[in-house]
Amino acid sequence: MSKNNETFWEEMFTYYAQIKNPSQEDIVALLREIQEAIGCIPKTFQERAATCMKTSPVLISTIIKKYPSLKEESFQHEIRVCTGPCCTSKGSLEIQKELQNLLHIETNQVTKDQRIYLTTQCCMKHCKKGPNLMINGKVFHGLTKERVIELLQDLPPLSFL
């Protein structure tokens, strides 16, 4: 069965969801199966694993960090779009949609080249200057779609250091 096939994933998650009171060993077994199938454990799969195992995504992420043999997906640049009320009223959701279109991913996903991870943050505490965007920890204010394109073009290319 193809590991890209949704049926494969549904069967795996259904199997693990049937475990009553899953232990850490059960969670690790599920995470190892995911990693074996696709090489890493992306955020979207961490969320599905958390739901399946009746636990929090934070616990799943902590377990992955605890076990050296498990690895989250890697990326070189993290882009966070502010989705607080002030930034949203100033167009941050349009900025988010533009990034999704430009990068060909949804929020909380990594681009196919493993270069950019797109996510959101409820508030960056720069409300008067919004809409705000954070790239690798640096906040940019008063964004427009045109400025977002410039910022993407300014990102260094993928390196394999």
* Dihedral in degrees, nearest 10, Cα atoms 32, 37, 43, 49: -50
CB within 8 Å of 5: residues ≥ 6 apart: none
What is the rounded distance in angstroms from the CA atom of residue 68 to the CA atom of residue 45?
A: 18
Q: How confident is the model at residue 71 (pLDDT cuts 50, 70, 90)?
A: confident
CB within 8 Å of 13: residues ≥ 6 apart: 48, 49, 52
- CA 56 to chain CA centroid, Å, is 15
More confident residue, 37 or 135: 135
What is the tens place of the pLDDT at every residue in 87-115?
A: 999 999 999 999 999 999 998 888 888 88
pLDDT of residue 110: 85
Q: Is residue 158 predicted with pLDDT exceeding 60?
A: no
CB within 8 Å of 117: residues ≥ 6 apart: 43, 73, 75, 77, 78, 79, 109, 110, 111
Q: Which fold has domain 77-154?
A: Glutaredoxin (3.40.30)
> Hey, what long-range contacts does 25-30 have (CB within 8 A, 24 or more apart)?
26/53, 27/53, 27/55, 27/59, 27/60, 27/63, 28/63, 28/67, 28/70
pLDDT of residue 74: 77
User: Across-strand partners of 80?
Assistant: 119, 134
Q: How confident is the model at residue 156 (pLDDT cuts 50, 70, 90)?
A: confident
Determine contact, residues 55/27, Cβ cutoff 8 Å.
yes
Q: Is residue 126 predicted with pLDDT exceeding 50?
A: yes
pLDDT of residue 160: 42
pLDDT of residue 5: 74
Query: How high does pLDDT run on average in the chain?
Result: 90
Q: Is residue 7 predicted with pLDDT exceeding 60?
A: yes
- Domain ranges for the chain: 6-66, 77-154
CB within 8 Å of 30: residues ≥ 6 apart: 12, 16, 49, 52, 53
